[in-house]
Every structure is written in structure tokens, then in C-alpha cells.
């Protein structure tokens, strides 16, 4: 989950590294550091806290045309300057940055201690610097490869040596690494966002790959010395997409961007003549799709909730049994892979470790897995048997918003495709498409209620506990609403099926525990209203998210927010946005760090 960056070229490395780390700060922000090679040797600066703290100790005139940098999400060892990266060997000849976890670091550490190595940090990563130094004999590539043959675990690393100016050695196994190719300069980073603004040409490394770069050239091999033929890919994201664009926070910007990100997810993918979807990246024939008897979705976090929404839709509209699996649990359950079952792996980053390992386990057992990702060239996108990009654009805020609704959009298109092959009529398909295309206008109208939502958040932000409650296809939306609130405001919030309130959670109800109900005007509305009355009978506070003009709900709830009327299937989109804004404004009221909440990171690349 950490961010790493390396540079070799004609610019002053320190400014490039710090700019890159700022782009990567969403991947971890406990501490940061850089090492730069100049006439003094390897010069290293490290500091706890955010990148701005590091900037204050790095001299503005620091010389050096190559270097490496790191922004940390702590795994081994506390948040201290000493535990921050880069890590150097005892002679300050090797400097290394690492993203991932070295599982056998204790045994390696004991071996190195027996050689007289003195460790300065509590991290697993420092072992790598000393290992490379142990094997170094004037060949950095060889030393790195020898060191990595002893390592068990995941890594994305960049290494440099004081006697090899301009040369960087990068390697990956389970943690992402990309090479950015510029004019007389090269960049290595855990994410393309660090290189945007300098180049639009990139190469994505695969597991057990090692890359050797200087300012003009690169050479890629496996852990042996077999050279790999790499494809240079175009980086489609623009620098402007990584800026706040006048918004106070990335999260608010990304909430507002849903008006555009939803149409991007369906643009060019709708066949109105046939009332179906066109998804060319699935790598499946119509016959193979028709033979699918069951869908299983594997995901984590917000992606899990998006997948759960899709499960309701697939069973209702396509009449295919569908279930949702937590990726972290699936891999270790020795899953049964059945014939004609299709798996969908959901991940915004395409690098989520739990989802990636579950994907590999399913494929190892002969299953077919399609990936649904946002980041082009990501590991899940490359290792899937086919899939769909959601085209949400960069999502910088740690709490996911626009990717959630873009994932649902992609899944809805996939469901439409399957449904039209089975029992859904042309008229029903056309109605579905028309409702989908109305969403951006409806989302825009919801954005115009932000002041009302902000006022409601101000009223409720100082309560310590919340329940979020929904039914049917909106039950996962209640879980997502609770997740958003606790992620960025640190208010304890739990999501439940409204029907389950009486099976235990109602014991939590009192005057200090508001309940946030999702109450669309669908077939389950009367049931949800009964649950609201149960809360009110016990003096609980009720906030309702209802359909415009619903006076029945208004008479029961203490406060009501409204969404436009739509088809039952499309309320999950409209219910998501006000909950996102409610969480955002609660966090503002409590003076939280909205974009970088404590203890979290954006791309979860460790188990």
C-alpha cells in the first residue's frame, strides 16, 4: 500500500521525487523519505507525517540527477523517522524503497546479524538493503537478483548504489511497479499517477520481473537473465485529473464527477437497436455467455458492496444465480470451482491483493475470471481472462465514491447483456437503457441539494453511533453508507438489512443512536416503513432517504432527504450520492482529514 518512486534523468531528482510522492500520498502517509545520489554519495532524508514535513527538511538546492522516494503505510514497526524509507545498508552504499511484506524477514535478519549487520529500524524492508549489500560485487542487477531469490513475500522495490550513478534496479512480485519512459529520463513508480506530467509512455512490470534503467535505456528480465519483450503502453490519464480543480477536497470533486463518470462507463457500450450492451473485452462468445449457469463475484470493501448490488440485479433481471464473496475469505476456503460458473473480480485499482490472490486461486482450479477495474494495465486487468474497464478516471481520495457507481454501471451493462440473451424482451431492454441514461441528470439534481445535506450533517455529526438500514437491492447501499461514514468521520456506523433490526441490532437503539433508512418507493417500502416505526417506538432518531413527494415517510422520520423517482433497479445510484455527501460533511464538521483518513490507504496491496 506504500508509494514508491524512482528517477534517473537530467532534472534535479529531489523535486521529481517529491512531486511523485505527492501524487502517491493516497497510498500511505505515515512517513516519507528520499535518497539522492550526488557528489557527496547517497544523501537520505526521512520524516514522519505527510510529504509537507519531508519538504521542510530537504534542501531546495539539493543536487543529484537520480534518486528514489517512498511514502509509507506502516506494517512492520511504528511510525518513526527511523522506520521510514528509504533504507540503507551499514556502509551507506545501498539505498532501497519497498512496497509489500517480506514474510521471512525474521530468519533473514538473524542470518544477517550473524554476519555482523546492525539494524537501525524495526521494519522488514531494511533486510533487503543489507541483503543486496551482502551480494554486491560491482554488479547491482546481480546482487538484487541474488537477494530476491532468498525472499518470501511480496515486493515492489527500487534499489540504487552510490557507485552506479544514474542506474536504478526495480523489481516486483505482488506489488505494482511501472516504468515511465521519457526523453532522456526514466521513472519508476508504484502507480502511473507519479509519472503523469512527465511522460505518457509506460511499461507495466509482471511478477518476478526485474528492470534495469538509466536515463536513456531500460532492460527487463525475469529473476534469471531471460530478457522479456515488453509492450510500451499509452497512459490515458491527464494531469488535470490529478488536481483538485478548485474543490477543497478530492473526495468532493469525485462525488461531483459522477455526473460524468457514469456516462463514461456506459459510453460506446450500448446497442440501442438491439436493446443490449456491447462489451468487447470479455473474450467470451455469445455461446459461452449463454452457457453460464452461475455468477460469483469476488471483491473487498466498497467493491464488495457494488458487487452485491449487481447480484440482486442479475438474479432479478437475468435470472442467473449470483453470489458475492469476500476475496480475503475465498482464497483460504479451498473454494469449489464448478463447471459453467463465471467469476467476476472487482477492484478499483486492479491491484487489491486479496482480490488478486483469489483470482489466481480460481484460475488455478480451472475457473474463468473476468476483471472489472478502473486502472488500465493493472495486474488484475492483465491476469483476468477478459473484463471491463469502468473508465472512472483517477480516484485520489481514499474513500471511494465515483468508482462505486461506475462499477455498478459496468455490472449493470453486463447484466443487460446476459438478460437479453435469456428472457428479457426488447421493450424491457430499451426501458432499462433509457433509465440508465437518465441517471446523470438525476445525479446532477442531487448535487444541487448539497447545502441541505451539509445542514443535516452539521446536526448529526456529533452523535457517536449510527445504523444504516435498507432492503433488497438497497441493502448493500446501506452497508456502503455506513462504511463511508466511519471511513472519513471516524463515527461508529453499522449497516444492516432493515428486516434484521429486530433480530438483535434494535437493542442498540436509544435517543443517541440515529438510524439512516433508505426508503425507495419499491415493493419493499411498506416493510421498511414498519421498521422505521419500530425505531421510533423506542425513541430512536430516524433519518430517511426517500423519493420526492413521499409524505408518508416524512410523517415518520425526524429528517428526510429526497431522491428523484426512477425504476426500482436504479435507486442504488441515487441513494449512494446523498450518503457520500452526508459522510463528507460530517467529516468536515468534525475537522477530519477527508482525503487521507487515519490508518487507511487507497490501494490495498498487502493481505
Peptide bond just before 139 cis, omega within 30 deg: no
Calculated CA dihedral for residues 37, 42, 47, 51, nearest 10 degrees: 10
Q: How confident is the model at residue 27 (pLDDT cuts 50, 70, 90)?
A: confident
Q: What is the mean pLDDT of residues 88-95?
A: 94
Task: Tell me the CATH number at 273.
Answer: 3.40.50.10490
- Predicted pLDDT at 24: 85
In this structure, the answer to whether residues 231 and 253 fall within a common structural domain is no
527 CB-side CA count, 13 A: 14
Domain limit, last residue, from 419, 443, 467:
443
In this structure, the answer to whether residues 480 and 537 fall within a common structural domain is yes
- Predicted pLDDT at 25: 81
- Three cell numbers written together for 308: 452485491
Distance separating alpha carbons of residues 388 and 380, to the nearest angstrom: 11
- Predicted pLDDT at 377: 83
Q: How confident is the model at residue 1 (pLDDT cuts 50, 70, 90)?
A: low
- Predicted pLDDT at 21: 93
- What is the average pLDDT score of the chain? 94
- Please determine, for residue 173, whether its predicted confidence score (pLDDT) is greater than 80: yes
Q: Which residues pair with 325 in a beta bridge?
A: 298
Q: What is the mean pLDDT of residues 444-460?
A: 97
- Predicted pLDDT at 606: 64
In this structure, the answer to whether residues 399 and 539 fall within a common structural domain is no
In this structure, the answer to whether residues 51 and 154 fall within a common structural domain is yes
Q: How confident is the model at residue 603 (pLDDT cuts 50, 70, 90)?
A: low
In this structure, the answer to whether residues 479 and 359 fall within a common structural domain is no
In this structure, the answer to whether residues 301 and 395 fall within a common structural domain is yes
Distance separating alpha carbons of residues 409 and 286, to the nearest angstrom: 21
Q: What is the mean pLDDT of residues 447-455?
A: 97
**What are the strands, taking DSSP E only, across 476-591?**
492-497, 515-519, 542-547, 559-563
Q: How confident is the model at residue 602 (pLDDT cuts 50, 70, 90)?
A: low
Task: Tell me the CATH number at 216.
Answer: 3.60.20.10
Share of the chain above pLDDT 90, in %: 85
- Predicted pLDDT at 77: 85
- Please determine, for residue 166, whether its predicted confidence score (pLDDT) is greater than 80: yes
The pTM (predicted TM-score) of the whole model is 0.88
- Three cell numbers written together for 232: 510500451
Q: What is the mean pLDDT of residues 61-77?
A: 91
**603 or 181, which is more confident:** 181
Distance separating alpha carbons of residues 487 and 276, to the nearest angstrom: 37
Q: What is the mean pLDDT of residues 48-76?
A: 92
- Predicted pLDDT at 75: 82
In this structure, the answer to whether residues 167 and 53 fall within a common structural domain is yes
In this structure, the answer to whether residues 138 and 252 fall within a common structural domain is no
Q: What is the mean pLDDT of residues 421-429?
A: 96
Q: What is the mean pLDDT of residues 441-450?
A: 97
- Predicted pLDDT at 301: 95
Q: Kindly report, residue by residue over 327-358, the tens digit of the pLDDT.
A: 999 988 889 999 999 999 999 999 898 999 99
Q: How big is the chain by its Cα radius of gyration, in Å?
A: 25
Q: How confident is the model at residue 105 (pLDDT cuts 50, 70, 90)?
A: very high
Q: Say which DSSP state 174 is in.
A: B
Concerning whether 159 is annotated as a catalytic residue, the answer is no
Chain mean position to CA 58: 30
Concerning whether 311 is annotated as a catalytic residue, the answer is no
Domain limit, last residue, from 402, 424, 443:
443
In this structure, the answer to whether residues 174 and 78 fall within a common structural domain is yes
> Which candidate in 22, 46, 50, 602 is catalytic?
602
Distance separating alpha carbons of residues 233 and 335, to the nearest angstrom: 35
- Please determine, for residue 604, whether its predicted confidence score (pLDDT) is greater than 80: no
In this structure, the answer to whether residues 238 and 248 fall within a common structural domain is no
In this structure, the answer to whether residues 363 and 268 fall within a common structural domain is yes
Supply angle C-alpha 304, 599, 492, rounded to 5: 65
Domain limit, last residue, from 192, 214, 242:
242
Q: What is the 3-state secondary structure (H, E, C) of 414-453?
A: HHHHHHHHCCCCHHHHHHHHHHHHHHHHHHHHHHCCHHHH
- Predicted pLDDT at 23: 86
Q: How confident is the model at residue 94 (pLDDT cuts 50, 70, 90)?
A: very high
Work out how many domains the chain is built from and give that number: 3
In this structure, the answer to whether residues 257 and 311 fall within a common structural domain is yes
CB atoms within 10 A of CB 507: 9
- Predicted pLDDT at 47: 95
Q: Kindly report, residue by residue over 497-552, the tens digit of the pLDDT.
A: 999 998 998 989 999 999 999 999 999 999 999 999 999 999 999 999 999 999 99
User: Mean pLDDT lowest for which of 54-58, 154-158, 236-240, 554-558?
Assistant: 236-240
Q: What is the mean pLDDT of residues 244-268?
A: 95
- Please determine, for residue 215, whether its predicted confidence score (pLDDT) is greater than 70: yes
- Domain coverage including residue 377: 244-443
Amino acid at each position: 500500500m506504500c508509494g514508491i518512486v524512482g528517477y534517473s534523468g537530467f532534472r534535479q531528482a529531489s523535486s521529481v521525487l517529491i512531486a511523485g510522492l505527492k501524487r502517491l500520498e493516497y497510498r500511505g502517509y505515515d512517513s516519507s523519505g528520499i535518497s539522492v545520489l550526488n557528489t557527496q554519495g547517497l544523501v537520505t532524508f526521512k520524516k514522519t507525517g505527510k510529504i509537507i514535513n519531508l519538504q521542510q527538511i530537504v534542501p531546495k538546492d539539493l543536487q543529484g540527477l537520480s534518486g528514489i522516494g517512498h511514502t509509507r503505510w506502516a506494517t512492520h514497526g511504528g511510525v518513526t523517522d527511523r522506520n521510514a524509507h528509504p533504507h540503507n545498508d551499514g556502509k551507506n552504499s545501498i539505498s532501497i524503497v519497498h512496497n509489500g511484506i517480506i514474510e521471512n524477514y525474521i530468519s533473514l535478519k538473524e542470518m544477517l546479524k550473524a554476519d555482523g549487520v546492525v539494524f537501525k529500524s524495526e521494519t522488514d524492508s531494511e533486510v533487503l538493503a543489507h541483503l543486496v549489500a551482502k551480494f554486491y560485487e560491482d554488479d547491482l542487477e546481480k546482487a538484487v537478483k541474488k537477494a530476491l531469490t532468498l525472499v518470501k513475500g511480496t515486493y515492489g522495490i527500487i534499489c540504487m548504489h552510490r557507485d552506479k550513478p544514474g542506474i536504478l534496479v526495480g523489481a516486483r512480485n505482488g506489488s505494482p511497479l511501472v516504468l515511465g519512459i521519457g526523453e532522456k529520463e526514466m521513472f519508476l513508480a508504484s502507480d502511473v499517477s507519479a509519472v503523469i506530467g512527465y511522460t505518457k509512455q509506460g511499461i507495466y512490470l509482471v511478477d518476478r520481473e526485474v528492470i534495469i534503467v538509466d536515463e536513456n535505456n531500460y532492460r527487463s528480465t525475469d529473476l534469471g537473465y531471460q530478457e522479456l519483450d515488453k509492450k510500451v503502453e499509452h497512459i490515458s490519464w491527464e494531469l488535470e485529473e490529478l488536481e483538485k480543480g478548485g474543490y477543497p477536497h478530492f473526495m468532493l470533486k469525485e462525488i461531483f464527477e459522477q455526473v460524468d463518470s457514469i456516462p463514461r462507463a456506459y459510453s460506446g457500450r450500448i446497442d440501442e437497436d438491439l436493446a443490449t450492451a456491447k462489451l468487447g473485452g470479455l473474450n467470451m462468445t455469445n455461446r459461452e455467455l449463454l452457457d453460464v449457469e452461475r455468477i460469483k463475484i469476488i471483491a473487498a470493501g466498497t467493491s464488495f458492496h457494488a458487487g452485491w448490488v449487481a447480484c440482486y440485479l442479475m438474479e432479478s433481471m437475468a435470472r442467473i444465480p449470483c453470489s458475492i464473496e469476500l476475496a480475503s475469505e475465498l482464497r483460504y476456503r479451498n473454494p469449489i470451482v464448478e463447471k459453467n460458473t463465471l467469476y467476476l473480480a472487482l477492484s478499483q485499482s486492479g491491484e487489491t491483493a486479496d482480490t488478486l490472490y483469489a483470482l489466481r486461486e480460481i484460475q488455478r482450479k480451472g475457473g474463468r475470471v473476468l476483471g472489472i477495474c478502473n486502472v488500465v494495465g493493472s495486474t488484475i486487468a492483465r491476469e483476468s481472462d477478459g473484463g471491463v474497464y469502468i473508465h472512472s478516471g483517477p480516484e485520489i481520495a481514499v474513500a471511494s465514491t465515483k468508482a462505486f457507481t461506475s462499477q455498478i454501471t459496468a455490472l449493470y451493462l453486463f447484466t443487460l447483456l446476459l438478460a437479453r440473451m435469456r428472457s428479457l424482451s426488447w421493450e424491457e431492454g430499451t426501458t432499462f437503457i433509457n433509465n440508465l441514461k437518465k441517471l446523470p441528470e438525476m445525479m446532477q439534481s442531487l448535487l444541487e441539494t448539497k447545502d441541505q445535506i451539509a445542514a443535516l450533517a452539521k446536526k448529526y455529526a456529533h452523535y457517536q453511533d449510527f445504523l444504516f438500514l435498507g432492503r433488497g437491492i438497497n441493502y448493500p447501499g446501506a452497508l456502503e453508507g455506513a462504511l463511508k461514514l466511519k471511513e472519513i468521520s471516524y463515527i461508529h456506523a453499522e449497516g444492516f438489512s432493515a428486516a434484521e433490526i429486530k433480530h438483535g441490532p434494535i437493542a442498540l437503539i436509544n435517543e443517541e443512536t440515529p438510524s439512516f433508512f433508505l426508503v425507495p418507493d419499491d415493493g419493499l417500502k411498506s416493510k421498511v416503513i414498519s421498521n422505521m416505526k419500530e425505531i421510533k417506538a423506542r425513541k430512536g432518531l430516524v433519518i430517511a432517504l426517500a423519493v420526492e413527494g413521499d409524505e408518508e415517510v416524512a410523517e415518520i422520520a425526524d429528517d428526510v432527504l429526497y431522491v428523484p423517482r426512477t425504476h426500482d433497479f436504479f435507486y442504488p445510484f441515487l441513494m449512494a450520492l446523498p450518503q457520500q455527501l452526508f459522510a463528507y460533511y460530517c467529516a468536515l464538521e468534525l475537522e477530519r482529514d477527508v482525503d487521507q483518513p487515519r490508518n487507511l490507504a487507497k490501494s490495498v496491496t498487502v493481505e
